[in-house]
Amino acid sequence: MFKRKLLTAVALSVAAMSAFAGKAEPLKPYTGALPPALQYAKTAAGLQVFKKFQAAGGLDGWVVQDPSGKNVVVYSSKDGEALIAGMMLDKNGKNLSAVYGEEHIPAPDYTEAIGEFKAAPGVSVGNPKAKAEVVVVFDANCGYCKLMHKLIDPAVQAGELKVRYVPVAILGADSDIKGAGILGSKNPAAAVDGAVAGRAETSSDKDLLAKVQANTNLMKKHGFNGTPAVLYAVKGKGGADDTVYVANGVPNITEMFSRMGISGQVDKLKQDPALARFLR
Would you say residue 24 has pLDDT above 50?
Answer: yes
User: What pLDDT does residue 155 have?
Assistant: 96
What is the mean pLDDT of the segment spanning 242-249? 89
**pLDDT one-digit tens code per residue, 135-148:** 999 999 999 999 99
User: What pLDDT does residue 207 have?
Assistant: 98
Query: What are the φ and ψ backbone dihedral angles of 74, each rounded to 5 degrees?
Result: -125, 175
User: What pLDDT does residue 2 have?
Assistant: 44
Paired sense of beta strands 83-85 and 123-125, if any: unpaired
Comparison of pLDDT for 229 and 19, the residue scoring more: 229
User: What pLDDT does residue 240 have?
Assistant: 64
Paired sense of beta strands 243-248 and 229-234, if any: antiparallel
What is the mean pLDDT of the segment spanning 123-138? 96
Find, among 208, 143, 202, 146, the residue nearest to 175 by Cα.
202
Q: How far apart are CA 118 and CA 165, in angstroms?
A: 9
Tell me the pTM.
0.72
Half-sphere exposure of 28 (CA within 13 A, CB side): 3
Q: How far apart are CA 40 and CA 42, in angstroms?
A: 5
Collapsing DSSP states into helix, strand and coil, what is residue 231? Answer: strand
What is the mean pLDDT of the segment spanning 38-65? 94
Question: Which value, in Å, is the radius of gyration of the alpha carbons in the chain?
Answer: 21
Angle (deg, nearest 10), helices 143-157 and 188-196: 130
Q: Which domains does the chain have, with CATH numbers?
A: 2-104 (3.10.450.70), 111-276 (3.40.30.10)
